[in-house]
């Protein structure tokens, strides 16, 4: 099975839900509407993509959106295990809310909590929506958004005392 | 000469000699030696050096003395939330009670050097040895700490299971001679030791003492990775040292009981008259045998890991307890047949 | 915080190990960690009913460093030493997929010699990391000999790595387009000696630890993850392979020289702590095989710069001179201001604890636009929540040690 064939299979399985397929190096992203993401993810899971490798969120402040992608792959199907397929949607930046996929892939539970604290995207229906790694005060700053700038401490060179 | 004799008489006045000299000083020296041996032996198995830097010429032996001094001078922190009276008293009482059995056992067959009348000495010694765990549980309860309470409960579980076995199997020795007198028990072994006559009881006693005194890696009540230090979590300084030492001292006391009951006490030697041959030499023989037993205990450390609590209890009730019962039956059978 | 009632699971995910029971009123809440010798830099809040854990809530993040954010402010090449800090004893495995992702965006492939060198270091790291895991596992269950042995023997592998890269732990060895250094002359002999030594030692490990009746009784049937649940939870690495999932990033998407060397991926069916220990044990054996093959290949083939020609041709003459004399490739000056074309790439590699995934997006600058890292321990952390309940308090260290959870790696 090559990439083209995989794309065809995904398109067949997802039907009209697919808005577009973007090909990256080493993965495929299937973009759907935000409202359809649960349905699309369920169909992708039925196809054999049984776990999520990475819940990737990229911030595009200029376009006022977050791109949320669930990069899934397969454990039980060795043929599918060679590919990473992402199912993603654009979440508006001013209303960061999307349905949770915990009930599709149980493994994303902690990763969704991570995204919640780092980007402030709220997953409706998540059983346990708390910050995972950060303390609540830090999580409010939403550190992975682009407007959060890390102030690096400068290297201070002190002249050795003369004499 | 009178002064020397007076001093000797005071030192070798049996209660003082056995409680202070053997019980306190002797057990401290033995515990230090055993800790050193344990660390050196495991280090040997684990391909490292063990204690070394304090006096390399004697293989780091004073290291433990240094540790003891450190414990003694550390600040004792008593948290505000603990029940201070019991918190301080419990380890002290537990330590004293751990070495008390030594004061009621005979270390010679010479009646002039018995600390107490010996008619029921087996029962008395065993009875005293069972009191100290209560204070460890109290220490856990008084600490007002979750880990301490879990540790205390575990201690209670383990002690209930294994003390009983230890008592039962040491009593097997007295059943063989149909007497509660420790001197009778030891004298009966002048020809053949009970370890050979009744290996079942000895094995049960060995396992029970190993588990009941909770030395590494059988320290289920205070296993570091689950309950930090069990009942001793809140302790520091000398009180912590006492807690740790109490377990080893208890092991030493029980080892003396086992040496008397199974390893023939002062067996190859027949105590005579006078302090030297009537008291000092037989007591040193007993202590040496107890020390050998303790060395055997500490060697298990490098081979085995820790049992789970339920596995330990399961093993106690299903394997070691029947073994002790069988040992007791064997003892009665031997008494009936008159083997001894 | 809501109490999770295991009698009434909220999803259809049935966990077979857990004993379904309603949580009693008088629950005891115990905080395992972070200042606790039985947890790493993490906290597990457990609720116990008697001796049975009914609820476990892993609380991570004590060693969190926001690597994803820090990487956005650094040049591409400077991120390699940063990401290494996740698991310093597994440095090559952790960073190699980041480097591969960069190479995918650049559209280059490292020369075969560099690929073999990376594979060699990856396997050395894998053994060292597995031994580290074994040591922690052993001491968690009170087996101090295993702890001492594996930490002492890890030294052999650390020294091999030092010989190869010049650093004991944070090697920063793979760089985009190749590797940082070539093999020293006497390396092959030393490596073969180490392999022979390990073959002998592994047998002793088996005797004292894996076949030790006490340790077996502690590990058998503890922390069982059935195959379906393992796939559902998305666990990785030895944890997944012990549950019967034949998945290894080295097989699924062979990187470096893994499609040219011969090795097997050990898979066990039982899914308990013992199976996980055995997977790691067998993996060490396979890594030894790979080391042998890699060393043989490197010895047989002629030395060339372990650097992609695109970079190597543009390097200053001094660099070439250093390479001729010492077999060492200094970091090329052009790397410092390396600009990647816009694009996005994903790469995965198999670290000792499981698969690590990098998502790298570039917008044509000298720093990344976004790097997403999902480390194996981060994915395995969910085991604490779903597998631990139902087992006894004393099983917690066993499960913790057997999944080889490493907080700095999980927190990133």
Residues 285 through 324 of chain C touching chain A, CB cutoff 8 Å? none
Cβ neighbour number for residue A16 with a 10 Å cutoff: 8
- List of domains in chain C: 67-411 (1.10.645.10)
**Least Cα separation, residue C147 to chain B (angstroms):** 9
- The residue segments making up the domain with residue B104 are 2-337
Strands, E, within C94-219: which ranges?
A: 174-175, 178-179
CA dihedral for B320, B325, B329, B335, sign (positive or negative)? positive
- Is B touching A (3+ C-beta pairs, cut-off 8 A)? no
Q: Is residue C45 less than 8 Å (CB to CB) from chain A?
A: no
**CB–CB contact C143 B306 (8 Å):** yes
User: Token pair of B63, please?
Assistant: 């290291």
Here the contacts of B38-44 (C-beta below 8 Å, separation 24 or greater) are: B38/B298, B38/B299, B38/B301, B39/B63, B41/B295, B41/B298, B41/B299, B41/B301, B41/B302, B42/B301, B42/B302, B42/C144, B42/C145
- Pair B299, B291: CB distance under 8 Å: no
Closest Cβ opposite residue B309 in set C31, C51, C148: C51
CA distance B109 to B103: 15
Cross-chain residue pair A25–C232, CB shorter than 8 Å: no
Chains adjacent to B (≥3 CB pairs closer than 8 angstroms): C
Domain ranges within chain A, ordered by starting residue: 3-109
Question: Cβ distance C396 to C44 under 8 Å?
Answer: yes
Q: Identify which of C332, C292, C297, C328 has the alpha carbon closest to the alpha carbon of residue C313.
A: C332
Per DSSP bridges, beta strands C178-179 and C343-351 are unpaired
Exposure string for C176-199, b = 16+ CB within 10 A, e = fewer: bbbbbbbbeeebbebbeebbeebe
Return the HEC string of B182-218. Answer: HHHHHHHHHCCCHHHHCHHHHHHHHHHHHHHCCCCCC
Looking up tokens 């997929």 gives C97
Distances (CA, A) of C1 to A26, B76, C82: 39, 38, 35
**What is the chain C residue with the closest CA to A133?**
C61
CA C225, C227, C233, C235 dihedral sign is: positive
With an 8 Å Cβ cutoff, are C357 and A54 in contact? yes
Please tell me whether residue C351 adopts helix, strand or coil conformation.
strand
Question: A50 in contact with C at a CB cutoff of 8 Å?
Answer: yes
DSSP string, B218-282: S--TT-HHHHTTGGGTT--HHHHHHHHHHHHHHHHHHHHHHHHHTS-TTTTS---SHHIIIIIHH
Give Cβ neighbours of residue C318 (< 8 Å, ≥ 6 apart).
none
CA distance C322 to C325: 5
Task: Write out the DSSP string of C73-99.
Answer: TS-TTTHHHHHHTTSGGGHHHHHHHHH
> What totals of helices (H) and strands (E) does chain A contain, helices first?
4, 7
Cross-chain Cβ contact C218/B47 below 8 Å:
no
Whose tokens are 């056995």? That residue is: B18
Q: Which residues of A touch C343 (CB under 8 A)?
A: 24-25
C141–B306 CB contact, under 8 Å? yes
| Cα of A15 to nearest chain C Cα, Å | 25
A11-19 contacts: CB < 8 A, separation 24 or more?
Answer: A13/A43, A13/A44, A13/A46, A13/A47, A14/A40, A14/A43, A14/A44, A15/A43, A17/A43
How far does B47 lie from chain C, in Å, by closest CA? 7
Per DSSP, which regions of C211-321 are E strands?
none
**Second CATH level (architecture) for the domain A3-109:** 2-Layer Sandwich (3.30)
Question: How close C57 gets to chain B, by Cα (Å)?
Answer: 16
Give C-chain residues touching A52 at CB under 8 angstroms: 234
Shortest Cα–Cα distance, C356 to chain A (Å): 9
Tell me which long-range contacts B72-80 makes (C-beta under 8 A, separation of at least 24): B72/B237, B72/B238, B72/B241, B74/B236, B74/B237, B74/B238, B75/B236, B75/B237, B76/B236, B76/B237, B76/B238, B76/B239, B77/B236, B77/B237, B79/B143, B79/B144, B79/B234
Q: What is the dihedral of CA C32, C38, C40, C44, to 10 degrees?
A: -20
Angle (CA) B306-B311-B317 rounded to 5° is 125
DSSP state of A15: G
Inter-CA distances, B105 with B94, B116, B170, B175, B251, Å: 19, 8, 13, 17, 15
Residue of C nearest to A145 (CA): C69
| pLDDT tens-digit map of B219-249 | 777 776 677 777 888 888 888 888 777 888 8
Q: Kindly give the confidence (pLDDT) of every residue in chain C, 412 residues in length, as a single tens digit, with 9 standing for 90 and above.
A: 333 444 444 444 444 444 444 455 567 788 887 776 666 688 888 888 778 888 888 888 888 888 888 888 888 888 888 898 888 888 889 999 999 998 888 888 888 888 898 899 999 999 999 999 888 888 888 888 888 888 889 889 999 888 888 888 888 888 888 888 778 888 888 899 999 999 998 998 888 888 888 888 888 888 888 888 888 888 898 999 988 888 888 888 888 888 888 888 889 888 888 899 999 999 999 999 999 998 998 888 877 767 777 777 777 888 778 777 776 777 777 777 888 888 889 998 999 888 999 999 988 888 889 899 999 988 888 888 888 888 888 888 888 888 888 888 888 8
| The length of chain C, given as a count of residues | 412
Tell me how many domains chain B contains: 1
* C240 at A interface, C-beta within 8 A: yes
ipTM: 0.86
| Sequential pLDDT tens for chain B (340 residues) | 688 888 877 777 777 777 777 877 888 888 888 888 888 888 888 888 878 877 778 778 888 888 888 888 888 888 888 888 888 888 888 888 888 888 888 887 777 777 777 788 888 888 888 888 888 888 888 888 888 888 888 888 888 888 888 888 888 888 888 888 888 888 888 778 888 888 888 888 888 888 887 766 677 777 766 777 778 888 888 888 887 778 888 888 888 888 888 888 787 777 777 777 777 888 888 888 888 888 888 888 777 778 888 888 888 888 888 998 998 888 888 888 877 6
pLDDT digits (tens, 9 = 90+) for B259-294: 888 888 787 777 777 777 777 888 888 888 888 888
SS3 content of chain C, % helix, strand, coil (to 5): 50, 15, 40
């Amino acid at each position: 099975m090559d990439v083209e064939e995989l794309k065809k299979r995904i398109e067949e399985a997802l039907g009209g839900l697919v808005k577009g397929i973007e090909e990256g190096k080493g993965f495929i992203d299937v973009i759907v509407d935000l409202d359809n993401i649960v349905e699309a993810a369920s169909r992708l899971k039925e196809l054999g993509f049984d776990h999520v490798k990475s819940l990737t969120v990229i911030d595009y402040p200029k376009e006022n959106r977050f791109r949320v992608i669930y990069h899934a792959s397969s454990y039980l199907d060795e043929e599918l295990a060679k590919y990473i397929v992402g199912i993603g949607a654009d979440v508006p930046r001013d209303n960061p809310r999307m349905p949770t996929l915990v009930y599709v892939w149980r493994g994303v539970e902690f990763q969704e909590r991570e995204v919640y604290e780092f980007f402030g995207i709220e997953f409706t229906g998540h059983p346990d929506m708390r910050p995972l790694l950060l303390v609540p005060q830090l999580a409010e700053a939403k550190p992975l958004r682009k407007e959060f700038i890390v102030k690096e401490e400068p290297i201070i060179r002190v002249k050795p005392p003369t004499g | 000469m009178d002064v020397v004799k007076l001093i000797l008489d005071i030192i070798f006045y049996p209660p003082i000699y056995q409680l202070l000299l053997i019980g306190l000083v002797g057990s401290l020296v033995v515990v230090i030696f055993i800790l050193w041996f344990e660390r050196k032996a495991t280090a040997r198995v684990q391909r490292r050096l063990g204690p070394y830097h304090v006096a390399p010429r004697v293989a780091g032996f004073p290291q433990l003395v240094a540790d003891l001094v450190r414990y003694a001078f550390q600040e004792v922190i008593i948290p505000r939330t603990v029940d201070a009276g019991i918190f301080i008293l419990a380890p002290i009482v537990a330590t004293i009670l751990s070495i008390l059995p030594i004061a009621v056992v005979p270390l010679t067959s010479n009646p002039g050097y018995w600390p107490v009348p010996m008619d029921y000495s087996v029962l008395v010694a065993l009875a005293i040895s069972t009191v100290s765990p209560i204070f460890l549980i109290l220490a856990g309860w008084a600490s007002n700490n979750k880990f301490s309470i879990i540790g205390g409960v575990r201690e209670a579980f383990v002690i209930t299971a294994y003390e009983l076995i230890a008592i039962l199997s040491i009593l097997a020795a007295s059943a063989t001679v149909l007497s509660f007198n420790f001197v009778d028990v030891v004298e009966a072994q002048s020809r053949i030791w009970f370890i050979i006559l009744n290996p079942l009881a000895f094995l049960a006693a060995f396992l029970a003492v190993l588990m009941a005194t909770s030395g590494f890696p059988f320290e289920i009540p205070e296993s570091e990775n689950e309950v930090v230090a069990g009942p001793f979590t809140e302790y520091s300084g000398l009180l912590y040292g006492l807690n740790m030492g109490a377990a080893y001292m208890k092991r030493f006391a029980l080892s003396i009981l086992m040496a008397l009951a199974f390893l023939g006490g002062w067996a190859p030697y027949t105590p005579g008259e006078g302090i030297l041959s009537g008291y000092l030499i037989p007591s040193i023989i007993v202590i040496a045998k107890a020390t050998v037993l303790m060395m055997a205990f500490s060697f298990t450390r490098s081979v085995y890991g820790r049992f789970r609590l339920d596995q330990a209890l399961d093993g106690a009730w299903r394997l070691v307890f029947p073994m002790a019962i069988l040992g007791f039956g064997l003892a009665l059978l031997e008494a009936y047949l008159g083997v001894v | 915080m809501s109490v999770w009632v295991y009698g009434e699971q909220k999803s259809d995910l049935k966990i077979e190990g857990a004993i379904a029971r309603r949580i009693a009123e008088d629950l005891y809440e115990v905080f395992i960690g972070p200042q606790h010798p039985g947890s790493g830099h993490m906290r597990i809040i457990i609720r116990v009913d008697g001796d049975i854990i009914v609820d476990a809530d892993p609380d991570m993040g004590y060693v969190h460093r926001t690597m994803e954010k820090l990487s956005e402010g650094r040049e591409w090449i400077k991120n390699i030493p940063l990401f290494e800090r996740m698991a310093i004893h597994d440095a090559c495995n952790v960073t190699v997929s980041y480097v591969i992702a960069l190479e995918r965006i650049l559209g280059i492939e490292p020369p075969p010699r560099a690929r073999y060198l990376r594979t060699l270091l990856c396997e050395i790291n894998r053994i060292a990391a597995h031994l580290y895991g074994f040591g922690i596992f052993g001491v968690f269950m009170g087996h101090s000999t295993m702890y001492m042995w594996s930490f002492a023997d890890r030294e052999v592998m650390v020294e091999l790595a030092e010989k190869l890269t010049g650093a004991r732990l944070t090697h920063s060895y793979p760089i985009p387009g190749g590797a940082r250094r070539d093999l020293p002359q006497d390396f092959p002999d030393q490596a073969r000696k180490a392999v022979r030594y390990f073959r002998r030692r592994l047998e002793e490990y088996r005797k004292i630890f894996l076949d030790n009746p006490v340790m077996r009784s502690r590990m058998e049937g503890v922390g069982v993850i059935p195959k379906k649940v393992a796939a559902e939870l998305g666990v990785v690495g030895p944890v997944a392979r012990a549950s019967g999932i034949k998945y290894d990033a080295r097989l699924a998407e062979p990187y470096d020289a893994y499609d040219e060397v011969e090795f097997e991926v050990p898979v066990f069916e039982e899914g308990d702590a013992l199976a996980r220990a055995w997977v790691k044990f067998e993996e060490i054996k396979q890594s030894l095989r790979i080391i042998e093959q890699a060393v043989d290949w490197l010895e047989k083939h002629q030395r060339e710069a372990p650097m992609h020609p695109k970079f190597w041709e543009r390097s200053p003459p001094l660099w070439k001179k250093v390479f001729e004399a010492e077999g060492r490739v200094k970091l090329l000056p052009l790397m410092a201001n390396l600009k990647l074309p816009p694009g996005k790439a994903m790469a995965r590699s198999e670290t000792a604890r499981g698969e690590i995934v990098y998502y790298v997006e570039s917008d044509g600058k000298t720093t990344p636009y976004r790097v997403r890292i999902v480390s194996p321990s981060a994915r395995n952390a969910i085991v604490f929540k779903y597998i631990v309940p139902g087992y006894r308090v004393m099983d917690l260290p066993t499960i913790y040690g057997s999944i080889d959870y490493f907080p700095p790696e999980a927190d990133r």
